[in-house]
Structure 1
Amino acid sequence: MIYIVTLSYVRPLDEVNAQLDGHRDWLIQHTKAGRILVTGPLEPRTGGLLLVRCADRAGLDRMMNEDPFVVHRLVEVEVRAFTPMLRAAAFPAEWAEEAKPI
Structure 2
Amino acid sequence: MFIVLLKFAKNRADAGQFMQAHKDWICAGLEDGVFILVGSLKPAQGGMLLAHNTSLEALQQRVAEDPFVQHQVVSSEIIEVAPNQANQRLAFLLN
Q: Mark yes or no: TM-score above 0.5.
A: yes
Aligned match of 1:100: none
Matched, 1:94 2:82: no
The 8 Å contact of residues 54 and 60 in structure 1, kept in 2 or not, is answered as no
Select the structure with the greater relative contact order (CA < 8 A; seq sep ≥ 6). 2
Is 1:66 the counterpart of 2:65? The answer is yes
**Structure 1: which 5+ runs fail to align?**
98-102
Alignment gaps of 5+ in structure 2:
none
- Give the fraction of aligned pairs with identical amino acids, expressed as a percent: 26
Q: Segments of 4+ in structure 1 off by > 2 A?
A: 11-14, 93-96
What is the CA–CA distance in structure 2 between the aligned matches of 1:49 and 1:24, rounded to whole Å? 13
TM-score with structure 1 setting the length: 0.84
Which structure shows the bigger proportion of residues in helix conformation?
Answer: 2
Residue deviations 1:24-53 (CA, integer Å, cap 9, x gap): 110001101100010111111111011011
Is 1:48 equivalent to 2:50 in the alignment? no
The verdict on how the C-alpha distance between 1:73 and 1:44 changes in structure 2, with shifts beyond 3 A counting, is same
Aligned partner letter, 2:41: L
How far the C-alpha of 1:96 sits from its partner, in A, is: 2.5
Over the aligned positions, Cα root-mean-square deviation in angstroms equals 1.4
Counterpart of 1:29 in structure 2 is: 28
State the number of aligned residues.
Answer: 95
TM-score norm. by structure 2 comes to: 0.90
1:68 to partner: Cα distance: 0.4
